[in-house]
Amino acid sequence: VVSTQSTGSSGINAEYGADGTDFNNRVAECRLAARVVAAKVQLDWTGINTLRPLMVAKNWNPDDLLQNVEEHLHSEPYTKEEIMDILGASEEQFASIIGKSSNEKFRLRDRAVHVAGEAARVAQFRRICDEDPSNVHGLGKLLNESHMSLKDKYDVSIEELNNLTQICRDYGALGSRLVGAGFGGCTISMVPKHIVEKFICEVWKAYYKPMEISFDEATSQHLFVTAPCPGACVMKTA
């Protein structure tokens, strides 16, 4: 039996824009990536706003999307001029796509690989739950891969979150990743039920105690144990 453990990082990265600039940049890069891949596979890119419509238009599954993103986007950052040339877009069209983004260069491949990879991991997670629910190590591996992608490809993690997820793994979590939009916040970890109490104590010692956060404060405000359960749904009565 596995419990889920939510932990707060108590950290905000000052290098990222507190005004939402970096969130806007990620959105712009994903929109641009979807349009560039659409153009590369001979679709009308003006009708493709995100990667999801691209999947629908080409009848791709998440693995197909990931394969095409890796095939059609180069790893070096794109310039505005390069993207406009690929799309045949005007200044006005480009400006409407990027919105409030302040980027001068755009890491299209990394951002799209993360989004496509996450979609593939969700499908894999669901498949394991349906076909091999005892494979908790497989589920944990997907959580870890997700965090690495958020850190390296989407670039929304921070040192505190990276340290905290690693501490959680070191003390028995099968998988650990940041949750939310990143740039600070919380993590979630899959922890075998029989080690939860020890896990909480060790995580407190390794992460919270050095910050002079007491055990009582940590367990009342930062460390929360939950159990997996069905998500929100619509209940219909006869």
DSSP 172: T
47: CB partners within 8 A, 6+ apart: 53, 57
Cα Rg of the chain, angstroms:
20
- SS3 of 63-112: the string is HHHHHHHHHHCCCCCEEHHHHHHHHCCCHHHHHHHHCCCCCCEECHHHHH
Look at residue 9 in the predicted model and tell me its pLDDT: 61
Look at residue 238 in the predicted model and tell me its pLDDT: 73
Chunked into runs of 10 residues, the chain (238 residues) has average pLDDT values of 58 52 91 98 96 97 97 97 97 93 93 97 96 96 98 95 95 94 89 94 95 93 86 84
Query: Is residue 200 exposed (0-12), middle (13-18) or buried (19+ Cβ within 10 Å)?
Result: buried
Q: Identify whether the C-beta of residue 55 lies closer than 8 Å to the C-beta of residue 37.
A: no
Q: What is the full DSSP assignment across 177-229?
A: EEETTSSEEEEEEEEEGGGHHHHHHHHIIIIIGGGT--HHHHHHHTEEEE---
**Could you read off the pLDDT of 185-194 as tens digits, one per residue?**
889 999 999 9
**Torsion angles phi and psi, residue 170, rounded to 5:** -60, -30
Q: Identify whether the C-beta of residue 143 lies closer than 8 Å to the C-beta of residue 178.
A: no
Give the predicted TM-score (pTM) of the model: 0.89
**Torsion angles phi and psi, residue 190, rounded to 5:** -95, 120
**Could you read off the pLDDT of 79-110 as tens digits, one per residue?**
999 999 999 999 999 999 999 888 899 999 99
Q: Identify whether the C-beta of residue 139 lies closer than 8 Å to the C-beta of residue 166.
A: no
Look at residue 74 in the predicted model and tell me its pLDDT: 98
Q: Which residues pair with 79 in a beta bridge?
A: 105
